Amino acid sequence: MFLVDAGNTHIDWAVAVGRRFLVKGATPTRQWLQGRAGPDFRGILQERGVKAAAVCSVVPRVTKRLCRELEGALGFAPFVLTADVLRGLEVDYPKPETIGPDRLANALAAKRLYGAPVVVVDFGTAVTFDVVDGRGAYVGGVIAPGLEVMLDYLHQRTALLPRVDVRPVRRVIGRSTQEAMRIGAVRGYSHLVRGVAEDLKAALAPAEPRFLATGGFARLIVREAALPAKVCPNLALKGLLFAWEEAVMAPDGGKAGEEAT
């Protein structure tokens, strides 16, 4: 089984046999679209003898190209996750078609692996908080700018502020422009995440939701924010696998089984 989670910044992919990820990789989305980076997906499918594929994408251009490449390799269209084909997770939301497929994949994986209520914090181009309530239904969430987006904005919209990388900070008072920016980003972002998490916990009371974190800066921000969250790599890929199983392999709603690794 070939799984692809295409985001605005990176395309994550994996080859799964049953619930085990045998091969995983990632490539920058923009470079892949420009043909300057990324693996030969068709070659991987042929080499591994893959017979099916599933796509979760929030970038329409990527979705079209991926589907074209995968269909050329498989001889039929891949499964594409949308709210319309989602099984195994009730969606209690005014316009389900507007929910990012990656958010649905995260929520499905969180519910299947850890139960409900549960909140997924995904640190991507944006940071998203997705909520599955005590009934086991997806009910919405929160979206805020991603950490790198905030830093890039400061650099691009000011004359003197440089571009800085993201790393742990030790001080609360910056002793250089770069250090001040890094503190503002990492510590400020941590307060944002913790504050939103506390609001969501209060909104779900008296139920006690479990918090999961995934995405590029999950470990750093969970530690800096002292957030009681379990870091779960590859959560969207796991959810995509579960969604494919529910919709294609078990259309009657059969249970999934063990965790993908």
Note the pLDDT tens digit of each residue in 183-211.
888 888 899 999 999 999 999 999 999 99
Q: Which of 163-172, 221-230, 250-259 has the highest mean pLDDT?
A: 221-230
Q: Yes or no: say if 126 and 149 are a contact pair by the CB < 8 Å rule.
A: yes
Residue 151 CA to residue 183 CA, distance in Å, equals: 11
Mean pLDDT of the chain: 90
Residue 48 CA to residue 44 CA, distance in Å, equals: 6
Q: Residue 255: is its pLDDT beyond 80?
A: no
List phi, psi (to 5°) of 190. -60, -40
pLDDT of residue 253: 44
Q: Which of 102, 122, 130, 133 is catalytic?
A: 102
Strand partners, 213: 121, 231
Percent of the chain whose pLDDT exceeds 70: 95
Note the pLDDT tens digit of each residue in 43-66.
888 888 899 999 999 999 999 999
Note the pLDDT tens digit of each residue in 86-143.
999 999 999 999 999 999 999 999 999 999 999 999 998 889 999 999 999 999 999 9
DSSP-derived pairing of the beta strands 210-215 and 229-231: parallel
DSSP-derived pairing of the beta strands 126-132 and 20-28: unpaired
Domains observed in the chain: 2-80 (3.30.420.40), 115-235 (3.30.420.40)
Which among 9, 129, 107 has a CA at the least distance from the CA of 59? 9
Residue 48 CA to residue 162 CA, distance in Å, equals: 45
Tokens of 60: 């329409």
Q: Yes or no: say if 108 and 201 are a contact pair by the CB < 8 Å rule.
A: no
Our answer to whether residue 12 is catalytic in this structure is no
Residue 86 CA to residue 93 CA, distance in Å, equals: 13
pLDDT band at 258 (very low <50, low <70, confident <90, very high): very low
